[in-house]
Amino acid sequence: MTTLVHTLGYPRIGAQRELKRAVESYWKGESDAAALEREGARLRHAHWQAQRDAGLDMVTVGDFAFYDQVLNVSTLLGAIPPRFGRVEGEVDFDTSFRMARGRAPSGEPAAACEMTKYFDTNYHYLVPELHAGQTFRLASQRLFDEVAEAQAAGHPVKVALTGPVTWLWLGKAKSEGLDRLSLLDALVATYGEILARLADAGVTWVQLDEPALVQDLPSDWQRAFESAYHALQSAPVKLLVASYFGALGDNLGLALGLPVAGLHIDLARAPGQLPAVLDRLPPDKLLSLGAVDGRNIWRADLRQLATALADAKARLDGRLWVAPSCSLLHVPVDLDNETQLDPELKGWLAFARQKLDEVVTLAHLLDGRETDADRARIDSAAHALKARRESRRIHQAAVRDRLAAIGQADTQRHNVYASRAVAQRERLNLPLFPTTTIGSFPQTQSIRSVRRDFKRGDLTASDYEARMREEIAQVVARQASLGLDVPVHGEAERNDMVEYFGEQLDGFAFTENGWVQSYGSRCVKPPVIFGDVTRPEAMTVRWSEYAQSLTDKPMKGMLTGPVTLLQWSFVRDDQPRATTCRQIALALRDEVADLEQAGIAIIQIDEPALREGLPLRQAEWQTYLDWAVECFQLSAAVVRDETQIHTHMCYAEFNDIIGAIAAMDADVITIETSRSDMELLDAFQDFDYPNEIGPGVYDIHSPNIPDQAWIVDLMVKAAEKLPAERLWVNPDCGLKTRGWAEVEPALANMVDAARVLRRRYA
């Protein structure tokens, strides 16, 4: 029998980021809801057609979202936090957008929902808020309308939804003492209604995403899976439980025992689990194999995969499906849009559209029904992979030798924080509650135009340099006017905090249209790390040096850390990630040394991805944390005691890694706490964190402007947890996505709040 081909999800942003532009146009009032709906429908139809054109047996419906798929489920369930008002009927666009960003074209502004990383990816989801007495109901027609759209277009439909237990696992209790699992029965009952509605609409298969199954689950959560799916087994649809991002491990028996029609497993992240799954798979259950990597962009070795899956094909035959390992949300849309990429490197890659072709060809190969197009694709992949293995562009002996020479002294500051703090206070002379920002300032259209013209060759290097200096001078002057204690140069020259550095490091390559959704309308273009990493020349020194010349205050130099450069790139898969990270750390170490030599007294090395990189299984944590912390230390420990090292982390839970954060030994860490009402500081308080902290008091992902009293109140809460003399006042992230009309009054309120705090705590 033939092997069925599907995908767990497809990128929704559009090949040219059309969704981003449509959503932001609506937010700005430049278009109406009807126009946004039309663009959403156009993109959905294009993506469904791409799946059918590739030869998939069904299209996936339910993976589309105007902001976030977890938020979609929250609105579908009517799980709307009380501060957004009582919603009796359909949850509308603007309610969901206010949940996501605090403001929408209609409705009163309110504090946005917390946002954090989706498992160990760089995708951010909106955290469901759970309250005592929480009720659920079918509160949105959108999913059912999209099913009808796909059916009207003639497509066979499989619906994809975040599963009930994972949705609850991702949520946060907002009522003291609330056990999230106390809500499970009511939640599952509403899921039952959803499945019944889908069955009435003619849907046969529903994919319930349960990636929580690849994590360490407490026994009560394991029982929750059993309870939930036994309650759903009477649903009049076939259920495919999808696990991904890792191995089922000790949850294997649990997953295989669920009374569902099928199970999906991730063979890209955990190929070793296949034999055990095959041995224990019940005879009435089909198996979906995530054989093609849905999170990286390297071309698949189709013949090797077919060999690895031959036993599964022989044993399962009519019960075998193949797919990418996870939703293709995490990779760019279409490699065919890359017209400037080096041809050899391009031949090594596959984006979402090409991965559809790969899974179809893999199925044909397993079935022994290859077409001419399949054979051409298989031969092309084999040739490209051989060329990649043999390429001289990848390995550099000098990099290998330098890595081998690293010793313990290279990763340790000269003295402990208490001694360094004395030297730094003497040099910097900062007040109590010093104010600063995270680094970037608004990226205006003028700035983007200058960068674009320079990249196109329409602007000379000297003219570009002059324009960037004008922007830096303006930003430094504005900060002086506001009264910020530690200014930054504003990063006008930087397109992205990762891409900017990757463009100046050997071993990195870049795409034109390799956009991936990070959150909401925010898209990033991750670099491709294909070879050994080195720094040919200084990357940031001249900009920081110029900015320092404009002020007597200590100018903060800004770098992206080694772990974040690694995590937010598509990383080579031919050597351990730790090795690649150490190469990046050595390149940054040289930059840190040059900044210090240029007189920069404060250097920030951002590591927002440190927590994101934490393996999903606790048994693997320490190995990762050891090399991740070492890489940060390797980049930072080159400086003298009087040079202050900052780091920044955001949108992550720190409780699990607080010891590792302390081991990084940054003099100051800035974190996001505005959306969590300073809850994140509990981990630092409980640990008795010894160094300085800047808890973010200004939510830069919302257009709302925090007032002085709000900021003072947050910092008073912070001072109840940590000594006032070790607290900084700052936004929770960079300001590049905001406009000056929002930034200046917000920062003015922040500076005024710091003055109030100084008087109160003097």
Catalytic residue list: 701
The interaxial angle of helices 461-482 and 541-548, nearest 10 deg, is: 50
Amino acid in the structure at residue 459: L
Taking the C-alpha atoms of residue 32 and residue 601, their distance in angstroms, rounded to an integer, is 49
Instruction: Show the CA angle centred on residue 539, arms to residues 534 and 544, nearest 5°.
Output: 150
Instruction: Show the CA angle centred on residue 750, arms to residues 749 and 754, nearest 5°.
Output: 115
Q: State the virtual CA torsion across 593, 597, 601, 605 in degrees, nearest 10.
A: -20
Element (H, E) at 242: strand 238-242
Partners of 265 in beta bridges: 289
Instruction: Assess contact for 445 and 453: CB atoms under 8 A.
Output: no
Amino acid in the structure at residue 532: D
Which three-class secondary structure string do you get for 526-587?
Answer: CCEEEEEEECCCCCCHHHHHHHHCCCCCCCEEEEECHHHHHHCCEECCCCCHHHHHHHHHHH
Q: What secondary structure letter does DSSP report for 400?
A: H
CB atoms within 10 A of CB 356: 26
Taking the C-alpha atoms of residue 367 and residue 547, their distance in angstroms, rounded to an integer, is 63
441-469 as b/e: b if 16+ CB within 10 A: bbbeeebeebbeebeeeebeeeebbebbb
Question: Please, what sign has the CA dihedral across residues 64, 68, 71, 75?
Answer: negative
Extract the tokens encoding 168. Answer: 């609850």
How would you list the strands of the sheet with 556-560, edge to edge? 556-560, 602-606, 644-649, 668-672, 692-696
Instruction: Assess contact for 534 and 602: CB atoms under 8 A.
Output: no
